[in-house]
Chain A
């Protein structure tokens, strides 16, 4: 009887240890939410500085998507302009530019597109 009790105690002790130890080994991730927003702001600002939003419209798709592709090449992050359907990661394009991709940060932006103010989401993702 005492052996059974001892065995049960040992099992309980081992199971507690086994459940607690993996929790301790888990690394706490750094909170980079602010940094991600800054990175999205950077991408927008870079496109702006390169004059991509001057006469912004369908005609500039090639130029803008080339710059977006350069950002993707350097960072590994896809750039999306949902609403105007510009993206550097064409793939599962559906109703939205980011269809099928995981968005890590999204900013709301308004710009004159083909002569008309247009609001859209400017996003970075994988």
Chain B
């Protein structure tokens, strides 16, 4: 009788050990799936944010080279012929608010801050119509 009880207890112990061993990989797999899900969601959010900022910069740059900062003579505007004097801090600030980015840089010099997303547009400047790149960066 005592031997039977011991055997049952031992059997239960083995069963618990088996269950524990099978639970460990299940838990590990669950953790892995959760981690993958979390990383995937974060990456999607980052990619979406970067795409949004990029699209906003493209819009801001397009507006600038087609209308916002172009040379106007006798009521005629000349797309891609940029008047440098039109690109002021107040112009950049108002455009930044309109496009909805945290920071906006606009200028002919390449920016040193590499953390921002940057694009450039080809324009001509001045009466000699020198070819220049107009950088538009933001974040």
A binding-site residues for B, Cβ under 8 Å: 6, 9-10, 13, 16-17, 20, 24, 27-28, 30-32, 34-35, 38-39, 42-43, 45-46, 49-50, 67, 70-71, 74-75
Contacts and interface: CB of A to CB of B under 8 A. Distances in A.
A38 B121 contact: yes
B33 to A, nearest CB: 9
Q: Summarize B's interface: helix, strand, loop or mixed.
A: helix
A28 B43 contact: yes
Interface string B33-56: 000100110011001001100100
A42 B122 contact: yes
Q: Summarize A's interface: helix, strand, loop or mixed.
A: helix
B131 A71 contact: yes
Given A20-B36, A49-B124, 4 more contacts: A13-B32, A28-B47, A35-B54, A70-B131
B51 A30 contact: yes
Contacts of B80: 42, 45-46, 49
Interface of B: 21, 25, 28-29, 32, 36, 39-40, 43-44, 47, 50-51, 54, 58, 61-62, 65, 78-81, 117, 119-124, 129, 131-133
Contacts, number: 68
A38 B25 CA distance: 53
B129 A50 contact: yes
Given A42-B122, A49-B129, A13 B25 contact: yes
A36 to B, nearest CB: 10
